[in-house]
Structures are given as structure tokens and as C-alpha cells.
């Protein structure tokens, strides 16, 4: 059932899973704002997808790991009456390397893009949600956080941090009608996995009981469910959408 | 025109009582210097309530608390909150 006049904010919303989530929520009647860091071509392609579906969308160019930029974003959203009822933190990135070769700079960059950004966005988004005594936050974890994954020490640590943040925030804001959950997508066909060789994909698929890659739309379906009014008694949870991997 | 400190303090006390739905306490019963979130406070507030109050103050007075750790000091009492709001509105 459509949800009228509610605002959704999706970080990493112009590409991959974030874009699929944004499109799905827009189809459900949410007023969607997609946040992107700087890829204008990605933004344009996303805008095209929304236009083809005759769905409205707004864009905000923000580095969500920078406190001042996040703060300014929420000021603009308040001025435009677009403060989020629902926040989906899909922005993230990975720089994989075995521990011996993982630079401190890359470790910090991965934690910043995945964990610091999620913290900053949540910290601002809960304010309007607390006033309205309604809110939905969906963060992005990873099977790497749950199981570990060779070559992903930084990414796994960041996503494990996201899980801890999710569970703690869920407890802190539950009394205000705000739910905070996480999804943990497995191997999903997106720009983020496009660099994998066919051999690497095949190896990963072999470890996946459903024996195939997932689609962004399959993850978006779960996110959409967690954002719905019906999900009012679900909080502090992590849902794996990984073909049975974990 | 800026509100005077007594006016601001009264507005904040009303906001505290209404936002946090405090029963049995009238705004004027809250002392200007009373510690809002200490265990000794008669208001019975816990620190998780601070988010609701912070949000209400930002919305009502069109100010923004920095996330540099300074908010805790501003939330010490009605007097410190009023001082922050007055300076942030300038």
C-alpha cells in the first residue's frame, strides 16, 4: 500500500543497491532524496531511470563522511520540508587487501566511508524522527562482518561497526518510535562487484547455497519492508539477503 | 528581536515539560541552575531523553548543536541551555 507524503533519504542512492532502494521506495509513494558523493554521470543515469519510470526524485551532492557537509544537508532538507522519515545508509566502499598489504590510509578510508558516514547520518536523522515520533533507519552490513572474509579486514571491521551502531542506536531511540535495522547483502550484481573476474564470481557463487548472484532489487525488497509501517515491531536486527551464504 | 534570558529560560522550561511529557512538574518549578540529567535531579530525566529535547530546541529556536561534544555542557541546566540558544541565534 502506498505511503503518502513521507520522506526517504538514501545515501549512495544513485548507484547499485542504493539506486534500487530509492526506486523501490519512490514506487511505494515515498518522496525520495538520493545522496551521492560526486559521480555526476551516475547521478544523471539515476535521474534518467526515475524519469523513465515517471517518478519524482531529488538529489543532494554530499560527502557523508564529513560532519559539516552532513549538517548542512540536514539544514537544506529542513528548509525544503524533506527531513527524512526513513534513512537508508547504502553508501559505502571497499579497498581490499590482505592484512600485510593493507595501508593505514586505506583502512581509515574504508572505516570513514562505511562507518563514520553511517554514524553521522544517523545522528542527524534521528532528530526530526524524534520530533515526529516515527522513523525508520536501515543500515548496510555485510556477510564479511558476520563471517569475516579474507582480504577484507577493513571492510569487515567497518561493517561490524555498523552492526554495533545499529543495535545500540535501536535501543537508544526505540522509545521514540524509531526502528533501526541492518541488511547484509551477499554477492550482488552492482558497480561495486563489477571489478570481480568471472573466476572470482564463480568461486563466490559456489559458496552461495542459492548458486547465483543476487540482484539490487532483491535487497531493495527487504529494505522496503523494513521501512513500512508494518515493520513497527522490528528493531536492532540484521537481515541477511545473501542466498544462504551466512 | 531577541528574547531576554528570563523569557528564554521560561520557554525552555515549558519545552522540557511538554517535550519530555513530565508529569507532576510545572515549568516554573524547574530551577534555572538545576542539573537536568544528573541522578540527583528531581525531574527524573535520563540521558537518552536528551535527544528528544535537543531536537525540540533545534526546531523551536532554529539553532543547531555542534556534534563536537559541546552539547553535553549546554544541557547541564536551563541556564546553560538559554545561554547557548541566545548565542547561537545571534
The shortest C-alpha distance from B89 to chain A (Å) reads 15
Q: What is the pLDDT of residues A137-193, one digit of tens each?
A: 999 999 999 999 999 999 999 999 999 999 999 999 999 999 999 999 999 999 888
Examine the pLDDT at B3 and tell me if it is beyond 70: no
Strand, coil or helix: B16: helix
Chosen for mutation from B18, B50, B55 (greatest number of chain A CBs closer than 10 Å) is B55
Tell me the torsion sign for CA atoms A113, A82, A175, A68. Answer: positive
Q: Which of residues 76-135 of A touch B (CB under 8 A)?
A: 120, 123, 126-128, 130-131
pTM: 0.94
Cell representation of residue A11: 545515501
Q: From the list B59, B64, B67, which residue is nearest A131 (CB)?
A: B59
Tell if the CB–CB gap between A127 and B54 is shorter than 8 Å: yes
pLDDT band at A121 (very low <50, low <70, confident <90, very high): very high
Walk me through the domains of chain B, giving residue ranges and CATH numbers: 5-89 (1.10.1200.10)
Among residues of chain B, what percentage have pLDDT more than 70? 97
Examine the pLDDT at B5 and tell me if it is beyond 80: yes
Q: What is the DSSP string of A150-215?
A: TTBHHHHHHHHHHHHHHHHHHHHHGGGTEEEEEEEE-SB-SGGGTTS-HHHHHHHHHTSTT-S-B-
- What was the pLDDT predicted at A112? 98
Examine the pLDDT at A4 and tell me if it is beyond 60: no
Cα separation, A3 vs A20, whole angstroms: 18
pLDDT band at A40 (very low <50, low <70, confident <90, very high): very high
Q: What is the pLDDT of residues A94-115, one digit of tens each?
A: 999 999 999 999 999 999 999 9
- What was the pLDDT predicted at A8? 98
What are the C-alpha distances in Å from A92 to residues A65, A66, A99, A199, B59? 10, 14, 20, 24, 30
- What was the pLDDT predicted at A3? 46
Q: What is the pLDDT of residues B9-52, one digit of tens each?
A: 999 999 999 999 999 999 999 999 999 988 777 787 888 899 99
- What was the pLDDT predicted at B2? 57
Backbone phi and psi for residue A78, each to the nearest 5 degrees, phi listed first: -65, -45
Walk me through the domains of chain A, giving residue ranges and CATH numbers: 7-241 (3.40.50.720)
Q: What is the pLDDT of residues A196-208, one digit of tens each?
A: 899 999 999 999 9
What is the arithmetic mean of pLDDT over A26-49? 97
Give the active site residues of A. Answer: 155
What is the arithmetic mean of pLDDT over A32-38? 97
What is the arithmetic mean of pLDDT over A18-35? 98
Strand, coil or helix: B53: helix
- What was the pLDDT predicted at B43? 83
Nearest CA in chain B to A133: B52
- What was the pLDDT predicted at A191? 86
Amino acid at each position: 500500500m502506498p505511503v503518502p507524503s513521507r520522506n526517504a533519504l538514501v545515501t549512495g542512492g544513485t548507484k547499485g543497491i542504493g539506486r534500487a532502494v530509492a526506486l523501490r521506495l519512490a514506487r511505494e509513494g515515498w518522496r525520495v532524496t538520493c545522496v551521492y558523493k560526486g559521480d555526476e554521470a551516475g547521478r544523471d543515469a539515476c535521474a534518467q531511470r526515475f524519469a523513465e519510470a515517471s517518478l519524482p526524485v531529488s538529489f543532494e551532492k554530499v560527502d557523508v563522511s564529513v560532519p559539516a557537509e552532513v549538517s548542512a544537508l540536514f539544514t537544506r532538507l529542513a528548509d525544503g520540508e524533506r527531513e527524512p522519515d526513513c534513512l537508508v545508509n547504502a553508501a559505502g566502499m571497499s579497498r581490499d587487501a590482505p592484512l600485510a598489504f593493507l595501508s593505514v590510509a586505506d583502512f581509515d578510508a574504508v572505516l570513514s566511508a562505511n562507518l563514520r558516514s553511517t554514524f553521522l547520518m544517523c545522528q542527524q536523522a534521528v532528530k526530526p524522527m524524534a520530533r515526529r515520533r516515527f522513523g525508520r533507519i536501515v543500515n548496510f552490513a555485510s556477510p564479511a562482518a558476520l563471517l569475516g572474509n579474507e582480504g577484507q579486514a577493513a571492510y569487515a571491521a567497518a561493517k561490524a561497526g555498523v552492526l554495533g551502531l545499529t543495535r545500540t542506536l535501536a535501543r537508544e531511540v526505540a522509545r521514540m518510535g524509531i526502528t533501526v535495522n541492518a541488511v547484509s547483502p551477499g554477492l550482488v550484481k552492482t558497480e561495486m562487484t563489477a571489478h570481480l573476474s568471472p573466476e572470482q564470481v564463480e568461486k563466490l557463487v559456489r559458496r552461495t547455497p542459492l548458486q547465483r548472484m543476487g540482484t539490487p532489487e532483491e535487497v531493495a525488497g527487504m529494505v522496503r519492508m523494513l521501512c513500512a509501517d508494518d515493520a513497527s515491531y522490528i528493531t536492532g536486527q540484521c537481515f541477511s539477503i545473501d542466498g544462504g551464504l551466512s | 528581536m531577541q528574547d531576554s534570558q528570563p523569557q528564554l529560560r521560561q520557554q525552555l522550561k515549558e519545552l522540557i515539560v511538554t517535550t519530555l511529557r513530565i508529569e507532576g512538574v510545572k515549568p516554573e518549578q524547574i530551577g534555572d541552575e538545576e542539573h537536568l540529567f544528573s541522578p540527583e535531579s528531581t525531574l527524573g530525566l535520563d540521558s537518552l531523553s536528551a535527544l528528544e529535547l535537543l531536537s525540540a530546541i533545534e526546531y523551536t529556536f532554529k539553532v543547531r548543536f555542534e556534534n563536537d561534544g559541546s552539547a553535553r555542557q549546554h544541557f547541564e541546566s536551563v541556564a546553560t541551555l538559554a545561554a547557548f540558544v541566545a548565542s547561537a541565534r545571534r
